[in-house]
Amino acid sequence: MGILNKAAAAGAVFVLVAGSAMAQGTLKIGVQVPTTGSEATYGRDMANAVVIAQDEINKAGGVLGKKLTMVIGDSACDPQQAVNAASKLVSQGVAGVVGGYCSGATLPTLKIYGDAKVPFVITASNSTKLIPANPGNAFMINSTGDQQATKATEFLASKGVKTLAIVNEGDAYSQDLANLTRDDWTKAGHKVVAFETANKGEQDYSAIVTAIRAANPDAVFWTAYYADGALLIRQLRQSGYRGVIAVGDGSNSTKLFDIAGRAAEGVYAFSNPIAQFLPAAKAFIKTYKAKFGNAPGPYAPLTYDGMRLLAWAITKAGTTQPAAVIKALASAHNEEWLAGPITFTKHNTLARSNFIVLEDKNNAWIRADK
Amino acid sequence: MATDDRPGAGTTPALARLAGPLAALADNAAARRAGIVALLALMVVAPFVFGEYATVILTNALLYVVLALGLNVVVGYAGLLDLGYAAFFAVGAYTVGILTLRVGVNFWLTLPVAVCTAALAGVIIGGPTLRLRSDYLAIVTLGFGEIVRISARNMSITGMASGLSGIHQPWLFGWHIATPRDFYYLFCVLAILAVAVSVRLADSRLGRAWLYVRYDEDAAEAMGIDRVRVKLAAYVTGAIFGALGGVFFAVNLGAISPESFSFTQSVLILMAVILGGMGKIPGVILGAMIVILGPELLRSLGELRLLVFAVGLLLIMLFRPSGIWPGRGRQQ
């Protein structure tokens, strides 16, 4: 134990020394993403987006005359690992942190960055639980669950829908979205005529289909994931239902078409801003493909924005002093980024959600809200 | 679960030489005492010397020392394989979370409740498995671990998939335990207590009975040892260690979610026990330190770190199949 303790200490001291020696002329930005474990694909994608942002900023002269260097902290989508990674980033003296994928892993790190007063731009985690836990230094640039509910209510109402059926799958994410949508929808003066919970992995949805047909709503909103959603859509259409069908961002995968086939024609999906549907992201997609050989993933545009937003704030503050950078971040006002304009509420969440609406035309998603 | 605990079993000469000083430390009482004093001194000054990041990961390692020592009672002392140990860890964490957040109970008052709940959980898992051995026992304990995790994921009182957050850091006689350094010292105390209890248990009448049951259940029973009681005692003791670890884990992190109590977690703790040497307290401590600090020290390797770590573990198990710590452990 003693030997190992010393080894651990020696390692830590080495990192600290090496860190401070390297700090000359560069500005370190922490990137907290899962690069190992089940969510590593998304973490890699986010880190790639930061690489592109970093290279572009450095080519344009860097920030405050210094080059940016990114330091990856692997959160592994695990709360404990995330805390370790966050502590390490803080000890390495990062000027700010971007990233945050799994909300459960991001949550306990808020306190660490808060205590160290490190500005943190959260680019994917979007649980509403993060909001009360935020000590004030974290900024969420991904829309939260309640913003998706608002978007769904606005969009469906604009399509002339009056009565709505909501179906979830009983897990935290889909149930949360279902409840929030029900609240928003009734507050807007419309009626929820059916509120159903499906069993995950079920093959036969006839019970739910019958209940929906009996209530005969103008629209059905599926809040869970594509695999089961696709089956429900197929069985709904087979039963002769002609109303509007909408799905949440857990179902915006093209795999929905593989299972639902032609039945998914005309289905609306709410989605976080994906690069291929963002008019401003053409160059970004090209650079990403050239550099990494594949198309950018779902959180790449937001993470790219996060890195650039942080650099913008440091430049605006004229210093890396945390309080000034946090103030600069909070002052963001409708500047245009890849995924749309950013202005923060007093809770440091987006004042205007960046959710987009997609529609299935011949088994391909097209943008439906612009 | 008879294992080969002979000193240096399957060890190459080079490794035996390397283990030499360790063995000397284990055998010589004076050297051992000096070693312990040095270790305690190092524990006290560590946060001041090594900085905050080291403090955080050492705190984490100390938590695993407590957990591994708890599992060591079940696996090492009584020889009952447990693949669902994270369940007890979860019971402790969720007890604190639910009682402080939903009922508003003071943190320190939740401790006895957590201990009782864990003991109950120990009986629940221990009861039906008393007549099972080896593989079958492993399967049942694995199932138990998954049941607890999946229940936590689906019940609204445990916060479902997103877990519980906003658990407050406790006060102790006007001392607000809040900074990483505070928690480091808290876990130091906890780990020292766990070591002391483990040592005392090993030498107790119950400890001898566990050893007997581990090697021959039938003979033990013939000699008047109540097999049922002794095995249950092992599960309950292990469960209490795990729950106490979970209690302080919950207040340290301030948020708990089902991901923290997965099967991998159980395996990690079991790995610490087996790596260090089942039944050998210093070995188990060393094992816990390795499984936690290893991946952290390799962080600079990026994506390769888990691969390098795994290869390291494989090599250790190849050359020291009965654990790193030398000596015969509790067979003397």
For tokens 């344009």, what's the residue? A60
pLDDT at residue B2 greater than cutoff 60: no
pLDDT at B169: 85
Minimum Cα–Cα distance from B294: chain A residue: A8
Q: Which residue in B56, B60, B161 is closest to A173 by CB distance?
A: B161
Minimum Cα–Cα distance from A103: chain B residue: B162
Q: How far apart are CA B271 and CA A97, in angstroms?
A: 33
Q: Does B332 touch chain A (CB under 8 A)?
A: no
H or E element in which residue A168 lies: strand A163-168
pLDDT at A222: 94
- A188/chain B closest Cα distance in angstroms: 28
Strand A356-360 versus strand A268-271 pairing type? antiparallel
Range in A13-17, A100-104, B263-267, B327-331 with the lowest mean pLDDT = A13-17
Minimum Cα–Cα distance from B63: chain A residue: A80
- A12/chain B closest Cα distance in angstroms: 6
Q: Does B296 touch chain A (CB under 8 A)?
A: yes
Under an 8 A CB cutoff, do B53 and A107 touch? no
A151-162 pLDDT per residue, tens? 999 999 999 999
CB A34 within 8 A of CB A74: yes
Under an 8 A CB cutoff, do A173 and B54 touch? no
H or E element in which residue B175 lies: strand B175-176
Minimum Cα–Cα distance from B296: chain A residue: A84
pLDDT at residue B140 greater than cutoff 80: yes
pLDDT at A238: 93
Q: How confident is the model at residue B7 (pLDDT cuts 50, 70, 90)?
A: very low
Q: Which of A84, A117, A174, A197 to mutate to test the interface with B (most CBs of B within 10 A)?
A: A84
pLDDT at B27: 65
For tokens 């612009």, what's the residue? A370
CB B107 within 8 A of CB B251: yes
Task: Give Cβ neighbours of residue B187 (< 8 Å, ≥ 6 apart).
Answer: B59, B62, B63, B66, B248, B252
Count helices and strands (H / E) in chain A: 14, 14
Question: Which residues, listed in sequence order, are joined to residue A219 by a DSSP beta bridge?
Answer: A164, A244
Length of chain B: 332
B8-32 pLDDT per residue, tens? 444 445 545 555 555 555 567 788 8
Q: Does B103 touch chain A (CB under 8 A)?
A: no
CB B126 within 8 A of CB B232: yes
Q: What would the two tokens of residue B180 be?
A: 């990483």
- A279/chain B closest Cα distance in angstroms: 34
- B284/chain A closest Cα distance in angstroms: 10
| Mean pLDDT computed over every residue of chain B | 84
List chain A domain ranges. 2-143+278-343, 146-271
Measured in degrees and rounded to the nearest 5, phi and psi for residue B85 equal -65, -30
Q: What would the two tokens of residue A45 be?
A: 């994608």
pLDDT at A1: 41
- B166/chain A closest Cα distance in angstroms: 7
Closest residue by Cα to residue A312 from A285, A330, A298: A330
pLDDT at B1: 41
pLDDT at A216: 92
pLDDT at A14: 46
Chain B, 268-287: which have a CB under 8 Å from a chain A CB?
282, 285-286
Residue A103 with chain B: CB contacts under 8 Å: 162
Tell me the percentage of chain B whose pLDDT exceeds 90. Answer: 35
Sheet strands (E) in chain A: 26-33, 67-74, 96-99, 120-122, 138-140, 163-168, 191-197, 219-222, 244-247, 268-271, 333-337, 340-343, 356-360, 365-367
Residue A172 with chain B: CB contacts under 8 Å: 159-162
Query: What DSSP string describes B254-289?
Result: SEE-GGGGSHHHHHHHHHHHHHH-TT-HHHHHHHHH
pLDDT at B17: 53
- The one-letter amino acid code at B217 reads E
Q: What would the two tokens of residue B194 be?
A: 């766990």
Q: Does B48 touch chain A (CB under 8 A)?
A: no
List C-alpha distances in Å: B98 to B2, B87, B144, B167, B307: 41, 16, 21, 9, 38
Q: Which residue in B56, B162, B260 is closest to A87 by CB distance?
A: B56
B285-306 pLDDT per residue, tens? 999 999 888 888 887 777 777 8
Average confidence (pLDDT) over B306-329: 82
Q: Which residue in A4, A11, A77 is closest to B289 by CB distance?
A: A4
Range in A105-119, B155-169, B204-218 with the lowest mean pLDDT = B155-169
Under an 8 A CB cutoff, do B166 and A132 touch? yes
pLDDT at B303: 72
CB A308 within 8 A of CB A315: no
A122-146 pLDDT per residue, tens? 998 888 888 888 999 999 999 888 8
Under an 8 A CB cutoff, do A1 and B299 touch? no
pTM for this entry: 0.76
Q: How confident is the model at residue B92 (pLDDT cuts 50, 70, 90)?
A: very high
Do domains A2-143+278-343 and A146-271 share one topology? The answer is yes
For tokens 């859509």, what's the residue? A233
Q: Which domains does chain B have, with CATH numbers?
A: 52-331 (1.10.3470)
Minimum Cα–Cα distance from A79: chain B residue: B260
pLDDT at A348: 92
Q: What would the two tokens of residue B78 be?
A: 């009584």
pLDDT at A22: 43
pLDDT at A18: 43
Q: How far apart are CA A245 and CA A229, in angstroms?
A: 10
CB B19 within 8 A of CB B277: no
Architecture of domain A146-271: 3-Layer(aba) Sandwich (3.40)
pLDDT < 70 stretches in chain A: 1-24, 171-172, 370
- ipTM value for the complex: 0.72
pLDDT at A312: 95
Tell me which of B163 and B17 has the higher pLDDT.
B163
- B222/chain A closest Cα distance in angstroms: 40
Under an 8 A CB cutoff, do B257 and A5 touch? no
Architecture of domain A2-143+278-343: 3-Layer(aba) Sandwich (3.40)
pLDDT at B194: 95
H or E element in which residue B171 lies: strand B171-172
Q: Which residue in A35, A111, A170 is closest to B254 by CB distance?
A: A111
Average confidence (pLDDT) over B140-155: 88
The burial class, CB within 10 Å (0-12 / 13-18 / 19+), for B151 is: middle
